[in-house]
Amino acid sequence: MSVPHDRAHLRTEHRNPRTMRLHDLSVAECVETIQREDRAVLDALDNARPALVALLEDAAPRFAAGGRLVYFGAGTSGRLGVLDASEAPPTFQVAPDRVIGLIAGGDPSLRRSSEGREDDPRGAVDELDALRLDERDTVIGIASGGTTPYVRGGLTHL
C-alpha cells in the first residue's frame, strides 16, 4: 500500500523501525520493546498536558450542563473513539447518548477495514449534522497523524 504524498512525511504512516524485527527477539525482549514504545506514548501525553487540561476545563462545565462528548475518526483512531464512548455508560454511569463515537464507514468498520472511507472529507458531515450539536457539546476529531480527510472535513464543517 502506498502512502499518499501529503502524508508520507508522517511517522504514523510508516512502520516503526524499532519494532520491525520483533520476530527475531525473545519473548522477554519483545515485552521490553513494546513497553518502551508504550512509555513513549506517556511522554507524548506529558508534552500535551497543557492542551489536555485546557480542553477538559472547557468541556467539563458544558458536559455537566447536559452537553455531549462526541468522538469521530477513521480506522484504528475511530475504533478507539467508539470503544471509549461505549465504556462511558458502565464506567461513569452516563446515558449512552451522552458520549458518542463515530467511525468512518459506520459500525461495519469496527470489524472490517473501510480504507476508502477515511479519504472522504464530507464523510462525517451528515453524521455530525444528524446529532444536532449545540454549544454544550464537545466534538473531538481523532486522527493519529492529524491529516485524515474524514476528520479534517468534519472539523472544518463545524
Model confidence band, residue 5 (pLDDT cutoffs 50, 70, 90):
low
Q: Is the pLDDT of residue 1 over 50?
A: no
Does one domain contain both 78 and 124? Answer: yes
Number of H helices, E strands in the chain: 5, 3
Does one domain contain both 81 and 153? Answer: yes
Query: What is the domain-level CATH number for residue 146?
Result: 3.40.50.10490
Residue 55 counted as domain residue: no
How many residues does the structure list for the chain?
158
Over residues 9-28, mean pLDDT:
84
pLDDT for residue 12? 65
Residue 127 counted as domain residue: yes
Question: Where in the sequence numbering do the catalytic residues fall?
Answer: 87, 118
Q: Which residues of 64-83 are buried (b: 16+ CB within 10 A; e: fewer)?
A: eeebbbbbbbbbebbbbbbe
Total number of domains in the chain: 2
